[in-house]
Structure 1
Amino acid sequence: MAIVKPFRCVRPEPGYAPQVAALPYDVYSRKEACEVTAANPRSFLNIDRPETQFSHDVDIYDDRVYEKAGEMLKGWIKEGIFQKDPQEGYYIYELTMNGRRQTGIVACSSIDDYGNGIIKKHENTREEKEVDRIRHVDTTNAQTGPIFLAYRSNDEINGIVNSVTVTPPFYDFVAEDGISHRVWQILEEDRISLIQQAFGGIPCTYIADGHHRAASAVKVGLKRREENPGYTGEEPFNYFLSVLFPDDQLMIMPYNRVVKDLNGHSEEEFLRKIGQSFEVDGMGTEAYAPMEKGTFGMYLNQKWYCLKAFNSLKSSDPVMGLDVSILQDRLLGPVLGIGDPRTDKRIDFIGGIRGLKELEKRCSQDMAVAFSMYPTSIEELFSVADAGLLMPPKSTWFEPKLRSGLFLHLL
């Protein structure tokens, strides 16, 4: 059963919260991160991406970069930008995007639940990305970006959350991107106990977003255990910061693909080859987003196409039946020569929030062909994780993104 623990949160003073709250560190390039931090010196991105405090000739993995993150965090706490709550509690975090609300519980999850499969994964992680966050967490002695977890909706938990969100929040602001953020605190012992008991009846939770942050937090926790052989299991390093959302409130957007070249094929030959696995229909110059599973948009030479996978390609296997798998196994791999999309430099991935115009833009700059995807469903994610399998990389793009800096967990 899932361990979901209250914790002593370090959080911004309410007046600073709108400035501090930042999108996750990994949605920005270095250039974009520098632009954000230059415009807002109180953005938590200054701490999450501390290379922004150095000139571009300093490597982002330089020891000084991580040390700077630790220095800045201590400085912001000393300045009073952040405060540490006097007692353990839960927090309710509500995000509203285009009128659609999702409300989660901010808490700490167990690194042992991660290890024994109660917290289920659906993606592989890349070692170099893990190492970066391991060093960040270890040096700052804090988990600064919450892991986005999902669970099957539960009436008891929904009732508790609803009873809290009718009261005034202590954070209530709209970010520059138009997404509303509201936060409530739960300190009452009876409510805390009810939440713990309710999650005790939930068999598992699922990582929706933040696989690298989760893996890194767990590895820091295991490292601290080795350094403290007398640990009891109750120390903060045995847990990681998370926000848990019911599955029926979540939205997954497509994760689109762009590829640098046609792998030596002429346009005519390329279209002929993909016609062996897909029904190919020209859609003109109007951007095309697929409307059902098993279909794909393709942008090539300033024209859009609809690709419909032949029925023979569809599969009941949780992974092989995913649209991202069909595209990879039947087109990106055999036709375009993208063997491992995690490491191949010829492919890039574009989050659905950027829209189809971004695909057209990339094809006018540095890419030859783009593919718009039908979004993976939360049910598909759960099926893959329940089967103990892994999705191909970049299968899901969740919106809205949780903000970093609103909740910190010190180790």
Structure 2
Amino acid sequence: MKSDGPAANDGLRLTPFRGLRYVPERVGSLAAVTSPPYDVVVRPDGLHHLESADPHNIVRLILPQAATPEDRHRKAADTLARWLAEGVLAPDPEPALYVYEQRHGDVLQRGVIGALALTEPAEGVVLPHEDVMADIVADRAALMRTTDANLEPLLFTYVGDGDATGTTAVIEETVQRPPLLATTTEDGFSHRLWSLTEPAALARVDADLAGRQALIADGHHRWATYLRLRAEHRRPGPWSYGLVLLVDTARYPLRVRAIHRLLHHLPTAKALDALGDSFRVRHLNSPLPRALGELARAAAEGNAYLLAGDGAFHLVDRPDPELLASTVRTDRPEAWRTLDATVLHSTLLDHLWRIPDGPEQIAYIHDAQAAVTQAERHGGTAVLMHPVREEVVRALAREGVTMPRKSTSFGPKPATGLVLRSLTLE
């Protein structure tokens, strides 16, 4: 780790660190101790599944369970300390960047994991595109503060030169060597990790990233957490950096998926009744994949949503233009005003359904089937969304316009648990 703090406006600076990794001989399998990012785990079902997969599953650090927030954070810190003392986790011998590969069928993603010098979003180096909630940032900050660790990498993208030069060349040279680790998780993705310590290779990465900017693909709340903790530690040091995975989307394009809403206390019949004549509603007698296909066709023409929870699917589209004009703020670009997420929150949630955007009322679920199952099980409503195109996200981010939170899900997301960053090692 460099001892000096990050300089402003000098592009992306990815710094080597001593990765903290599971010792394979001390766990059942590397796949069994990994997890999706904390906000993708469907609780409680997914949480219990991961906890039972292995007693050392990383979910015990990123989503510790206890009666109070303070107890949860302290439990995570105590668990991390115990695993280190027991040799379940151990630091690598020298600082490194880590080349990371994910593969599933025809999906191949490669990038570099490192400690990114933290810059203010306004400086144009890191581009957020979604709003965040203060309570989530406060919780993540308390967890990082108590554990003195970055437990999972954020997913950032940048647009490289599209050919095997610079960082991409270093990556593709590195993957010819035997990896530090290789595992396949239950979702079918294979994961491989290499350490990058050679000074010449590190210098090539450093030179290539200088002057580039990154889009936050996944991890807005954790990015806001990094910035908060950096502000608490004004002297240059470990808190001046945060753990990220950087992917060149010119070489390895990400997939963009929607994040669905689960309205806990709104039955589907009441949700539909509240729409009145403001939207067109069509009832679909079809399985979920076909219903999602109908949603995609409708979304190509305008705002569209798929409601579920009563055992059927209801396609909601063609909103009343006058209603949109009176409920959607006009001081934003048209691309923002016409987003499905914008209309959902401004027109449906705020105006027609009058549901506040809080965890007691709304859950954000990445998997469509999981959202439908939860809605049917508990008598709520699942609002299934169609994904936003990446070029729209990047264009709005460059204008400094943030989308409603949880508007997009970029992937594949890095598996949590393959490499951690302990700030006490730096």
Q: Give the alignment's TM-score, normalised by structure 2.
A: 0.81
Gaps of 5+ in 1: 52-57, 226-230
Large movers: runs of 4+ above 4 Å: 262-267, 310-316
State the distance in 1 between where 2:149 and 2:76 align.
Answer: 10
Q: 1:307 aligns with which of 299, 312, 316?
A: 316
Give yes or no for contact 2:267–2:379 (8 Å, CA) kept in 1.
no
Q: Deviations over 1:208-235 (max 9, x none)?
A: 111122222222222233xxxxx3x3x2
**Secondary structure in structure 2 of the residue aligned to 1:185:** strand
* Structure 2 residue 343 is matched with structure 1 residue 326: yes
* Structure 2 residue 259 is matched with structure 1 residue 255: yes
Q: What does 1:11-410 align with in structure 2 at a 5 Å threshold?
A: 11-15=21-25, 16=27, 17-26=30-39, 27-29=41-43, 32-51=46-65, 58-62=66-70, 64-114=71-121, 116-154=123-161, 155=163, 156=165, 157-202=167-212, 204-225=213-234, 231=235, 233=236, 235-248=237-250, 249-259=253-263, 260-261=265-266, 267=272, 269-270=273-274, 272-275=276-279, 279-287=280-288, 288-289=291-292, 290-291=295-296, 292-293=299-300, 294=302, 295-299=304-308, 301-309=310-318, 317-338=334-355, 340-341=356-357, 343=358, 345-351=360-366, 354-355=367-368, 357-410=369-422
User: Per-residue deviation at 1:60?
Assistant: 3.6
User: Per-residue deviation at 1:61?
Assistant: 0.7
User: Per-residue deviation at 1:321?
Assistant: 2.4
Greater CA drift, 169-178 or 361-370? 361-370
Give yes or no for contact 1:324–1:392 (8 Å, CA) kept in 2.
yes
Give yes or no for contact 1:148–1:208 (8 Å, CA) kept in 2.
yes
State the distance in 2 between where 1:333 and 1:364 align.
Answer: 23
Gaps of 5+ in 2: 1-10, 326-331
Give the 3 Å change call, closer, same or farther, for CA 299–96 of structure 1 in structure 2.
same
**Secondary structure in structure 2 of the residue aligned to 1:112:** coil
Greater CA drift, 360-369 or 81-90? 360-369
Give the 3 Å change call, closer, same or farther, for CA 146–303 of structure 1 in structure 2.
same
State the distance in 1 between where 2:406 and 2:171 align.
Answer: 31
State the distance in 2 between where 1:238 and 1:399 align.
Answer: 26
> What is the RMSD of the two structures over their aligned residues, measured on CA atoms?
2.8
Give yes or no for contact 2:217–2:409 (8 Å, CA) kept in 1.
no
Give yes or no for contact 1:263–1:335 (8 Å, CA) kept in 2.
no
Give the 3 Å change call, closer, same or farther, for CA 285–223 of structure 1 in structure 2.
same
Give yes or no for contact 1:273–1:335 (8 Å, CA) kept in 2.
no
Give yes or no for contact 1:263–1:336 (8 Å, CA) kept in 2.
no
User: Per-residue deviation at 1:362?
Assistant: 3.4
User: Per-residue deviation at 1:66?
Assistant: 2.4
Give yes or no for contact 1:257–1:349 (8 Å, CA) kept in 2.
yes
Give the 3 Å change call, closer, same or farther, for CA 347–410 of structure 1 in structure 2.
closer
